[in-house]
């Protein structure tokens, strides 16, 4: 019967030391890193975006922002930090799309358009455009704020937005808020519960339910987020780890039959994040496996002496083993 052979204590200690050393060498903190969407990883000309798109913006070893195209090209092993998912829900009478645009910096812009009005007033059709930003598994993000513009603009239809900061596992910190159709809705205009922020003034459009809605000329209080939306705004405690944010722009068709076509845009212009880069588990595991394999290759091998020589009774000799 073979006996189980334990790894020598020195090898075990070496493996754990290497894993610990690897974690220390790979981890790096970053604080108030501003991503303006004009970094080397992003496009340089207007580009339609849809589905999943990832970008590498942080040096995983140093925690600093990648500043040049040359630096980005030289970091072939560095992991993508920002994982975006762009989705749209158009209607029979409305379209929606996302685009990266170059302005004074960069931005991601949702464009929602309503075609010629139908045969009923206030049809209530709802267009939505969602940007979901998830952080790479090697990042621990414990502070975030973002800026944007045109989330609750005055017009002949009702534009509003719902923002969620979600947990590392993708779940919500609290239940999602309910947004009723325009005529039944009471504005929230702020954080209804932990992790959520709603931008939904109904004073942006008037005369809903008539043959022709009127542009009020007054956008909502949070239409432009130049000061940013952050932890304090959504009721998150300082240092809370998050998995990302989800920003959904809505456009409800409240027009009358005498209104014409109309379009709206909403833009995310920057994010600011703080946290830590952490080593991938596979890195530490590979170090440990390599150490074990190295020890295995250097173990003494055994063979039996006179293994096949029978004794006088026709039985085989007992195995006499020695190292070679």
Q: How buried is 105 (Cβ within 10 angstroms: 0-12 exposed, 13-18 middle, 19+ buried)?
A: middle
Q: What is the mean pLDDT of the chain?
A: 85
Task: Please enumerate in sequence order all residues whose Cβ is within 8 A of that of 206, keeping only pairs 6 or more positions apart, or say none.
Answer: 213, 214, 215, 216
Rounded Cα gap, residues 110 and 128, in angstroms:
9
Q: What is the Cβ-side half-sphere exposure of residue 157, based on CA atoms within 13 angstroms?
A: 28
Q: pLDDT per residue over 28-82, tens digit each?
A: 999 999 999 999 999 999 999 999 999 999 999 999 999 999 999 998 788 999 9
Q: How confident is the model at residue 26 (pLDDT cuts 50, 70, 90)?
A: low
**Above 70 in pLDDT, residue 6?**
no
Rounded Cα gap, residues 55 and 41, in angstroms:
6
Local structure of residue 64 (DSSP, 8 states): P
Report angle CA 111, 65, 150 to the nearest 5 degrees: 20
Q: Which is more confident, 281 or 109?
A: 109
Rounded Cα gap, residues 267 and 36, in angstroms:
12
* Residue 20, φ and ψ in degrees, nearest 5: -65, -40
Rounded Cα gap, residues 49 and 86, in angstroms:
7
**Above 60 in pLDDT, residue 265?**
yes
Residue 42 near residue 56 (C-beta atoms within 8 A): no
Q: pLDDT per residue over 159-188, tens digit each?
A: 999 999 999 999 999 999 999 999 999 999
Task: Please enumerate in sequence order all residues whose Cβ is within 8 A of that of 46, keeping only pairs 6 or more positions apart, or say none.
Answer: 99, 100, 101, 102
């Amino acid at each position: 019967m073979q006996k189980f052979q334990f790894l020598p204590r020195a090898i075990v200690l070496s493996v754990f030391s290497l894993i610990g050393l690897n974690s220390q060498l790979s981890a790096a903190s970053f604080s108030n890193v501003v991503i303006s969407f004009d970094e080397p990883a992003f496009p340089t000309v207007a580009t339609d975006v849809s589905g999943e798109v990832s970008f590498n913006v942080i040096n995983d070893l140093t925690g600093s922002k990648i500043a040049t195209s040359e630096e980005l090209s030289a970091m072939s092993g560095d992991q993508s930090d920002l994982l975006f998912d762009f989705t749209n829900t158009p209607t029979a009478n409305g379209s929606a799309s996302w685009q990266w645009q170059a302005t004074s910096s960069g931005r991601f812009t949702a464009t929602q358009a309503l075609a010629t009005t139908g045969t009923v007033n206030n049809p209530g059709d709802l267009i939505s455009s969602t940007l979901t930003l998830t952080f790479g598994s090697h990042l621990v993000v414990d502070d975030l704020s973002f800026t944007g513009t045109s989330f609750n603009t005055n017009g002949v239809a009702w534009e509003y937005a719902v923002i969620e900061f979600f947990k590392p596992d993708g779940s919500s910190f609290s239940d999602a808020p309910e947004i009723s159709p325009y005529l039944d809705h009471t504005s929230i205009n702020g954080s209804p519960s932990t992790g959520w922020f709603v931008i939904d003034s109904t004073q942006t459009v008037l005369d809903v339910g008539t043959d022709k809605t009127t542009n009020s000329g007054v956008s909502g209080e949070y239409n432009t987020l130049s000061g940013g939306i952050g932890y304090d705004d959504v009721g998150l405690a300082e240092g809370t780890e998050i998995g990302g944010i989800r920003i959904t722009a809505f456009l409800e068709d409240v027009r009358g039959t005498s209104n014409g076509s109309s379009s709206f845009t909403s833009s995310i212009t920057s994010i600011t994040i703080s946290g830590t880069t952490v080593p991938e588990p596979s890195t530490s595991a590979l170090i440990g496996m390599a150490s074990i394999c190295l020890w295995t290759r250097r173990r003494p091998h055994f063979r039996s002496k006179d293994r096949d020589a029978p004794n006088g009774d026709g039985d085989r000799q007992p195995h006499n083993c020695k190292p070679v």
